[in-house]
Structure 1
Amino acid sequence: MSEATASPARGSTGGPDTDRRTQRAPFEIGVLADWAAPIGLVVVLVVFTVLKPSFFSIDNIEGILTASAALIVLAVAQTFVVATAGIDLSIASVMTLGIVVLGQLYKAELPLAVAMLGAIVVGLLAGLVNGILVAFFKITDFVVTLGMLSAASGLALILSDGQPVQVTERFLFTISLDGIWIVSWIVVVALVIAVIAYLVLFRTRFGTHVLATGGSPEAATATGISTARVKIAVYAIAGSLAGVAAIIVVSRLGSTPPAPNTSYLLNSVAAVVLGGVSLFGGKASIFGPVCGALLLTVLVNGLTTLSVSEYYQPLSVGVVVVAAAYLMRFQK
C-alpha cells in the first residue's frame, strides 16, 4: 500500500498537516507518472536541440512524425488489449503478415485497394483467433499471442518465400510523402485513428465495457457485461489496426519485407507503459500512448543524429521504459 493510502502509525501525534505532507509526495509522483510521456517528449526534444541545433529542423521533425505513424497505430491497438488486463505479443508479427499479404496480392496483379484490404482482413482474422483462444478456451493471453507471434512470422515467410515484393504505386508514395505542411497523410491517418479510438474508449458503452472488464472481470460479469465478447473484440481491433500499420510501413518502404521487426512489438508495449496505461487493466489513455510513441521515435532519431551507435538505442529505450514502470507504482 502506498503512503497515500496507508493508515497513521499507532501512537502517532501528527495532525492533519502531517497527514497532508505524507500524502503530497506520492500524489505528485502519481501525477508525474500519468504525464510521463508528454513530459519526457518535451525534455528529449529540448536536450537533443541543445546538443544538436539542426535536430529541430523542419525536415527532421517531418521525418520523425512520418516514422512514428506506424508505431502510433500499434500503440493505440495495444492500448485496447492492455485496458482489459491483457497483452498482444503478436502485434508486430501480424503486421508483418499483413505486409506480406499485401505484397502477394499486389504481385498477383489485383487492385491496390484489394491488396490493402487483404492486409487488414488477415490482421482481423489473426486478432479473432487470439481473442477466441483467450476468451473461450481460457488460455493465457501471453501464451496465445506468443504462439501467434511465431505462427504469423512463419506464415509470412512461407507466403513470401522469404522474398520482398516491390510495391511501386503512386498512391502509396503520395500518402507517405505528401500531406499538410510537415504532417504527411499517413500521420494524419494515425492521428484520426487515435481520435476515433479515444471516442470509442471513453464516449461509448463498448469503451465502458472494456475498462470494466480490465478493472474487475467478476464485477463486469455481474452487471451483465459479456467479458468474453469484449476480449474477442479488443484483440480483433488490435489485429485490424496491425493491418493498417502494415499499409503504412509499405507506403514508407515501397516494398514488403517478410522478416518481422521485433522493435515494433517492444516499442508498442513501451509506448503504452510510458502513456500511463495500467498493465493491470481498468485504466487507459490514448493521448499518453501517442506521446509515448512519439517519444520513442524522437529518442531513436536523436541518438542517430548525434551519431550514437545503434547498439545503444535499445538500451536507452529499455531505461526509459523501466523508469516509467517504476513511476506507475505511484499511480492513483
Structure 2
Amino acid sequence: MIRTLLAAGAALCTLALAACGDTGGTGQARNGVWAAGSSTVFPFTTRVAETFSRNQGGATPRVEALGTGGGIQAFCQGIGPATPDVANASRRMTASEFDMCAQNGVTEIIELQIGYDGIVVATARSGASFDLRLQDMYLALAKEVPVNGALAVNPATQWSQINSALPAQRIQVYGPPPTSGTRDAFLELGMGPGAERLPELAALKASDEDRFEAVSHTLREDGLWIDAGENDNAILQTLTRTPGAVGVFGYSFLEQNRDAVKAETIDGIAPSVETIADGSYPLARSLFIYVKKAHIGVIPGLQEFVNEFVSDASAGRGGYLEDRGLIPLQPEELARQRQIAQSGTAMARPE
C-alpha cells in the first residue's frame, strides 16, 4: 500500500546542495522516499516500495504515476524535500531535461537501467488479429501521410485501407498522452522507423531531418488516435468494452492481463521475454530510474531503497519484479548497475 509521506518535521538543513532551512517552499521536511514518473515503471517501483517497507520498517515510499515527462519535470525542479528523490522513466533522460535539472541546481544525477519492457499493440482476445508492419502503424496513425507523392492529412479510416491483409474495421487506437515515456518510445521505435520505409519520407529524412522528425512523430488529431491518460489499466478496460479497439501500452500490463487481451505481431514478431530481451521485437525498450545524489544520506532510506531496486532479489532473473512483468537485464549488466548505485556515479549529459 502506498501512503503519502510528506510529514511535518524539522527543516532539512543538512541537504548538501541547498541553503540551510530550505524546504523547497513547503515548510516541511520528509521522512521517507518519494518517486514519481512513468506509469510503466510505477508497478515495479510500487513493488520495491512494499518490499523495502516490509524489510526496513519505517515509512512506505510515496510513488506517483505522472508519466515519464511529468516525473522528470518534477524531479528537475531543484534540491529539497519539495521535489522527488527518484524519477521513474520508460525512456532515457534527454539532453534538454538534463539541462533543465542543471539550471535548477540538480547537478548530480545517478542513472540506473532497471530492465527491459516492450510496447505492445493489443486487442481484446475476442477481436480480429493483426500482423502489423511498422509502415502500417505509421500510415494508420500519422497526422500526415504521402498521398499522390505529397504529404497530406491522413485520409485512412479503416485498417484495410492501409494494408488489404488487415481487418476491414475502423481505426480506433487508444494510447498514452504526450507526457508519457511510452508514447515517446512508441514514436521513436515505431512511427519513425515506419515512416522511413516509405520512399517519400525516406527522401525527406535525407534532405531535412528536423522536418522528417516533426512529421513522423506527429499523431493524427481527428479522433482515431485517442489519448487515454497515464493509466494503462484504463486502456485495457477500454479494449474489452469497445469492439475493434486497439491499445498501445507496456508489455508488463499485457502479462498481467492475458486473459482479457492479446498482443499483435509487429513485422511478424510477437512480444515475449525472449524477443524483448534480445532486441528482435521492434518495440523493445529499456526502463530507468534517476536518483538525486544530493538527497542520498539526507532523505531517510533513499540509498537502501535504490539498493533494493537493483538487487538480485528484485531486478534479477527470477526476482519479484520479473513476476510483475519486468524483463531482467543480463546478470553482468545488473551487476554493473548495482555498482553505479553503490558508488553514486553521476551520469554524463546525454548526447
TM-score w.r.t. length of structure 2: 0.26
Higher helix share: 1
Determine which structure has greater relative contact order: mean sequence separation of CA pairs < 8 Å that are 6+ residues apart, divided by chain length. 1
TM-score w.r.t. length of structure 1: 0.27
